[in-house]
Amino acid sequence: MLPYEHLIIIDKKSKLPIYRQIALSIINAIRNGTLKAGTHLLSSRELARILALHRKTVVCGYEELEAQDWIKIVPRKYVAVSEHIPLLKPQNWGEPSILIPYENDLNIPFRIIEEHKINENTVSHPDIIIDDGYPDVRLSPIDDLLKTYRKLASKKHTIKNANIRTTQGTLKLREELATYLSLTRGLNISGDNILITHGAQISIYLSAQLLLKPSSNIIVGKPNYPVANKTFEEAQSNIIEVNVDEKGINTDMIEKICREKKVDAVYVIPHHHYPTTVTLSVERRIKLLELSKQFSFVIIEDDYDYDYHYTSSPYLPLASSNHNGNVIYIGSFSKLLDPALRIGFMVAPKNFIEQCKAFRKIIDVGGDGYMQNALAFLIKEGELKRHLKKAKKCYHERRDFLDSLLKEKLGQYISYNLPTGGMAVWITLNKELSLEQLQRNESFQIIRTYNELNSFRFGFASMNEQELECAVNEIEKELIKKITYSSDHVK
C-alpha cells in the first residue's frame, strides 16, 4: 500500500481548507506519476483513519477531485484515479509539495508596460504616509453602504438583483446619478448619457482608446496627472504639453497650437488641477469651449474632486455649458467616499457611451451591481449629501490647520498657495533644499513627488489634526537636519 500519510501532507496552520489540501496532494501525486490512471485509492473511512481526520473532510476532498475529473467514485465499491488521466512521467520520490510554486518567469516574449513609478524612494514601512489627496475613509458612510449591500446581496434578493446588464452600470445608479449630477453640476442628462466605471481612470482610458489614433494630437497641462499622460501614450497619440499657471491651462497657447496643427482632444482638470491644485478661470473655460467648437476637438474634462470647495462655490463644469456634444465629463466616487470602492462615471453623448460600452465589454464585462445599487440607495436617501456636508466642513478645517502648521513650522523652507478646494496642497521646497532629502527619511513617505519641480502634494483630507501635526513635525525635523548639516559643512 502506498504511504498515504506521506503522500498527503496536511498543514493545519495553512489557510487552505484541509479537504483542498487532500485534493491538491492527490492531484500532485497523479501529476508526478505516483498515482497512475485506474489506481484504486483508499476508502474515505480508511484514509480518514490514517490521516486522523474526520471522514467527512476526506469525502469533501474526494468530491472536489471527482468534480474536477481526477478520480471516479463508485459509491460503496471503490474510489479510483480516473482512466482518462494521461500517464505522466514518474518523478523521483522526494518531499511531496502541496502547492507547485510559480517560480519561473514566463519565457515567451510579451508586451512590457513601463509603469510610472509614483515615488522612486519608497520607504518600506513608513509610520506616516503623506498621500496626494485621499479622503478620510473613517468619515465615509461605508457601514451604511455595506448594510444596504448585504441586504441586496442576500438570498431573498439575489435573483432579482443578479449581476446582469451591468456593462453600462445599473439603471438605478445611472438614474440616481443623472438626478444628482443635474442638481449639483447643472448637467442636463439622462441615465443613457452615463457609463458607470471602476473609477475615473477607466473613463480616461476608454476615451483615449476611442478618440485617439497613433497620429492624433492631444493637449495636456504641464505639469499633469502622470497616469493620464501614460494613458494617452498607450494610445500612441502625440502628447502636446501646455503650461498651467495660476489660472489653469493656458488657452491662448492652445489656440496657437490649434492654428498650427490639427488637435483632436484636450485633457483638462478644471477644478484643483493635478498636481498644482489651481482652478481653471471662467474666461479660460469660455475660451476653451469656443476653441473646441472652432477647431472641432473633444474636451476630456476630468473633474475628479469637484465636490470639495471651501471658500467659494465651484464653477459649473464645462459639460454643463453649450458644447455641441464635444465634452466627455469624468467623475468618481474615489474622492467622495473611498478610492477602494472603485466606482466612477463618464458622462457623454449617447453614441459615444454606446461605443465605450462595447469596448469596455472586451476588457471588463461589468461592475458590481449590488454595490452600484447600494450606492444609488445612498444617494437617493440623501446620505451622500449629508456625508459631503460633514466631510467638507472637516476638510476645510484640516486645510486651514495645515496652513497654520506650514506657516509656523515650514514657512522658511517652502512656498505654496492655499487651494480654494480639493484635498491637497502643492508645496515647493526652497531652491537650496532637495526633495530627495525628504524621500530618504524612513519614518514617512510622500506618495506623489515631482522631483524636477522640487515639489510635492500634501494630502490633508485623510489626516486628523494630530496626524497632520506629526507629519509636519517629521518634515521639519528632516529639513532642520539638512540645514544644520549644510551650515556645519560651510564652517
Residues of this chain that interact with ligand PLP (CB under 6 A) are 199-201, 225, 269, 274, 302, 304, 332, 334, 339, 344
Which residue intervals of 311-364 are DSSP H helices?
350-363
What is the secondary structure of 113-161 as a DSSP string?
-----S-SS--SS-SEEE-SS---TTTS-HHHHHHHHHHHHSHHHHTTT
Q: Closest CB to ligand PLP among 65 and 328?
A: 328
Query: Nearest 5 degrees, angle CA 9-CA 14-CA 17?
Result: 80
Cα 57 from Cα 159, distance rounded (Å): 31
Please, are residues 248 and 282 in contact by the beta-carbon 8 Å criterion?
Answer: no
Q: Closest CB to ligand PLP among 34 and 119?
A: 119
Neighbours of 155 (CB within 10 A): 6
Whole-angstrom Cα Rg for the chain: 29
Q: Closest CB to ligand PLP among 61 and 314?
A: 314
- The dihedrals phi and psi of 469, each to the nearest 5 degrees, come to -65, -45
- In 309-404, DSSP assigns E strands to 327-332, 344-347
- The dihedrals phi and psi of 87, each to the nearest 5 degrees, come to -70, 125
Q: Closest CB to ligand PLP among 264 and 338?
A: 338
Q: Closest CB to ligand PLP among 70 and 460?
A: 460
Beta bridge partners of 41: 79
The CB-nearest residue to ligand PLP is 199
Q: Closest CB to ligand PLP among 339 and 349?
A: 339
- The dihedrals phi and psi of 40, each to the nearest 5 degrees, come to -80, 135
Please, are residues 463 and 399 in contact by the beta-carbon 8 Å criterion?
Answer: no
Q: Closest CB to ligand PLP among 132 and 478?
A: 132
Cα 61 from Cα 18, distance rounded (Å): 8
